[in-house]
Chain A
Amino acid sequence: MAIADLANPTRFLAFANRTIPWLGGLAAVVFAFGINQAIVAPDDYQQGATVKIMFLHVPGAWLGMLGWGVMTVAALGTLVWRHPLADVAAKAAAPIGAAFTLMCLVTGSLWGRPMWGTYWVWDARLTSVLLLFLLYLGVIALWRTVEDPSRAARGAAILTLVGAIDLPIIKFSVDWWNTLHQPASVFRFGAPTIDASILIPLFIMTAAFTLAFATLLLAAMRNEILRRRVRTLRLMQASAAS
């Protein structure tokens, strides 16, 4: 099947029905391996055992930003190409991205309390991630408020494109401002500053969460296509009755 064929909702449903069980199963296997690696990973010489929180916090941050990235591409699909699945993808990605951003914030706070002595500081990195979470809530509220999906899609697409400005701010906030949050230690110019004994479990857990994200996104898109079919049928039924 060509990728372009997936633009057809019926073909996308067939693809999703075939893919979701395999992708979910693969995510479960990689999670099992990643959690095992996280348990046996050594303590950090400075952070001690709390480094194990990083195996959740870093994937949460990555997926919170990936979710908005998916929505940004989908917003372009809605506004520029009017792709049939673009607003379905944008709507489906919003709650998933919001949940992972919340996971990033909560696990970060739980790491910050023993390491920094506080759950929260208004530094640039933390504040820009909190802003991303609030933007997610705004998009979700917009989808739920506007009844007509195509009108909601256009409004949500504009908000998404404006909100995309926050992504480079999150990434470079630790370079542009003097923050309590540490600078980039994995994706940076030069080699990562983390030892392989911690970096490898971190990559495996990130892969597991990314597979879970992909599975959830496909499943949520399938639900959204079915929801729109239900809506169309109900409108047909109502117009036939009147």
Chain B
Amino acid sequence: MMPVAAHTGFIIAAYAAAVIVVGGLCAWVMLDYRAQRRNLADLERRGVIRRSAPPPPEPAPHQAKEKA
């Protein structure tokens, strides 16, 4: 059997590469999701909404009275 120590560096490098790949993909999808949510919220704040978007919630009765 071959000594483990002789190839430890290659094994560690391979697992580090896998961590970088999977971690990088996770970070990419999470950051992208946040960016798209932020963009949509920004557009919504400026009144740009999809025609098929659900209507905004009705104001509570006391808020409606205050507005009147």
Contact = CB atoms under 8 A, between A and B. Distances in A.
Contacts of B48: 233-234, 236-237
Interface string B24-37: 11101110110011
Contacts, number: 101
Contacts of A139: none
Given A106-B17, A110-B10, A216-B25, A234 B32 contact: no
Contact of A219 (B8, B22, B33, B37): B33
A123 interface: no
A10 B21 CA distance: 30
Interface in A82-114: 95-96, 99-100, 102-103, 106-107, 110-111, 113-114
B37 A226 contact: yes
Contact of A56 (B1, B4, B14, B39): B14
A15 to B, nearest CB: 16
Contacts of A193: none
A49 B8 contact: yes
Interface of A is mostly: helix
Interface of B is mostly: helix
B21 A233 contact: no
A230 B10 contact: no
A94 B34 CA distance: 20
B8 A110 contact: no
Contacts of A220: 29, 32
Given A43-B4, A49-B11, A216-B29, A230 B43 contact: yes
B19 to A, nearest CB: 10
A219 B50 CA distance: 22
A138 to B, nearest CB: 19
Contact of B14 (A57, A229, A234, A236): A57
A52 interface: yes
B50 A50 contact: no
A227 interface: yes
A113 B10 CA distance: 8
Contact of B2 (A49, A100, A237): A49
A227 B29 CA distance: 12
A241 to B, nearest CB: 10
Contacts of A48: 1-4, 6-7
Interface of A: 10, 43, 45, 47-50, 52-53, 56-57, 60, 95-96, 99-100, 102-103, 106-107, 110-111, 113-114, 209, 212, 216, 219-220, 222-223, 226-227, 229-230, 232-234, 236-237
Given A43-B4, A103-B18, A113-B10, 7 more contacts: A10-B52, A43-B2, A53-B10, A56-B18, A95-B25, A107-B18, A234-B43
